[in-house]
Amino acid sequence: MEVTIQKVILCAVADEPGKVAGVPTFYARDEESRQKKALYLSRILQGAVHDLGDGVLIVVKH
Amino acid sequence: MPHAQSIGLGLLLGILARVSMLRSDYRQYPTYPHGYASHLFLGIIAAVVGSVAVPALFEREWTAVTFLVLVAQQFREIRSLERDSLKALEETQLVMRGSDYIESIARIFEARYYIVIFVAASAAFGVEYSSVATGVVLGAIAFGLGAALMRVEKLEKTVKIEIAPVNIKGTDIYVGDIFIMNVGLRESREFILKNALGAILSPKTETARDTLASLGQRQAILHDISGILGVKKDLDTPEFTPIARRDIETGRVAVFMVPAEKDEKVFLEVVSRVPVLESARGRSLRRSGRCC
């Protein structure tokens, strides 16, 4: 039986430090760069990207 | 050879019954040549059991009854055989069948063998009692009865199915007015807007509302539409996974998918033809006497 981690926040992409804690976070000031980072991370980690607003994106394994 | 006619006709009609039920439909199962071969072989065994049991009883060979019961027990194994093989395939499916659908398919496969035994025994009884013609008629009636018993209700009977637009509000995806999910990637949102299909399923009765609430039933819908239309999705694009979300206020269900072939007509037809699973059939109000 294969064991996988599910329903967990794998990492976050935020526009500035202090907004996210507890998960690996990548920072990018502009929206374009955040989108690009989130795209790469979602494809690498096979997770879905959700926008929490206020410049914070999270990658979640469902 | 005594009883050759009854055994022969029972065997023939039993095998014909199994062959007629061994068709690969839109669920794509069983498509594999080996699946066909094993089911045909088991069908022949079932037909032999049914057709031999009756002449044995006419000869007052009571041990035949014991053997019939023993063999029937063996056919119970078919259910676990089908369940195991479908479960083993689940891990590598982009859109899973779900355990409710697997259980439903496994039950149907098991029941088909009992019908084969019933058809073969009825035909053999007809020949023993009267003539070959009676055997054919009794066999046909038995098959008709079995087919009527096995008839599966389709979703369209109790559920209204309509195409609904896939909208995006900010970063949220909606089908009609029902929220589906939040998608953070702009690229994915644009892709969804261009390629996705949506439908809203409204229950016509209270029992249908229960049916649509079942997670197994919803997974069966998603599996069927993905099987026919295909999905534009891979392991690294989970946001394109087909989803069926429920509006808890009204019991309506929104179906969202990104198909490989964007064809609304086929999409609606497939959803309409999804079988109502035994485990998902709503019956809470029926049991309490409030509903039909």
In a domain, A3, yes or no: no
Question: What was the pLDDT predicted at A38?
Answer: 94
Query: By the CB < 8 Å criterion, does B243 face chain A?
Result: no
Per-residue confidence band for B285, with pLDDT thresholds at 50, 70 and 90: low
Is B186 touching A (CB cutoff 8 A)?
Answer: yes
> Is the Cβ pair A35, B238 closer than 8 Å?
no
Cβ-based contacts under 8 A for chains A and B: 43
Check if B235 contacts A (Cβ < 8 Å).
yes
pLDDT score recorded for residue A1? 57
Q: Is the pLDDT of residue B286 over 60?
A: no
Average confidence score pLDDT of chain B: 87
* Helices assigned H by DSSP within chain B: 4-21, 33-58, 63-90, 99-129, 132-149, 186-195, 206-213, 215-229, 264-273, 284-288
Within 8 A of B182 by CB-CB distance, chain A residues are 50-51
- Using pLDDT thresholds of 50, 70 and 90, give the confidence band for residue B30: low
SS3 state at A32: helix
B289: confidence class by pLDDT, cuts 50, 70, 90: low
pLDDT reported for residue B25: 57
- How many domains are there within chain A? 1
A25 part of a folded domain: yes
Assess B236–A contact: CB distance below 8 Å, yes or no: yes
pLDDT score, position B72: 78
% of chain B residues with pLDDT over 90: 48
Q: Grade residue B223 by pLDDT with cuts at 50, 70 and 90.
A: very high
B127-182 pLDDT per residue, tens: 988 889 999 999 999 999 998 988 888 898 889 999 999 999 999 999 999 999 99
The model's pLDDT over A3-56, given as tens digits with 9 standing for 90+, comes to: 777 789 999 999 999 899 999 999 999 999 999 999 999 999 999 999 999 999
Top residue of B173, B179, B185 to mutate, by most chain A CBs within 10 Å, is B185
Please tell me the predicted confidence (pLDDT) of residue B152.
84
Which residues are bridge partners to A61 per DSSP? A8
Does the pLDDT of residue B29 top 70, yes or no? no
**Complex prediction ipTM:** 0.84
Q: Give residue B222's pLDDT.
A: 95
What's residue B234's pLDDT? Answer: 87
Q: How far apart are CA B154 and CA B86, in angstroms?
A: 22
CA atoms within 13 A on the CB side of B243: 19
Does the structure show a pLDDT above 80 at B259? yes
Contact B185 A38 (CB under 8 A): yes
pLDDT of residue B60: 87
Question: Which structural domain, as residue segments, surrounds residue A45?
Answer: 8-61
- Provide the CB-side half-sphere exposure for B69 (13 A, CA): 4
Q: Is residue A2 part of a domain?
A: no
At residue B73, φ and ψ (nearest 5 deg) are -60, -40
Across the interface, of B91, B182, B186, the residue whose CB is closest to A35 is B186
Residues of A in contact with B187 (CB under 8 A): 35, 39
Segment B216-235 mean pLDDT: 91
Q: B259 or B66: whose pLDDT is higher? A: B259
- Comparing C-alpha atoms, which of B181, B204, B185, B177 is closest to residue B257? B181
Using CB atoms, which residue from B171, B182, B185 is nearest to A42? B185
- How far apart are the C-alpha atoms of B16 and B81, rounded to whole Å? 23
Q: Which residues of B touch A57 (CB under 8 A)?
A: 184
Examine residue A57 and state whether it is found in any structural domain, yes or no. yes
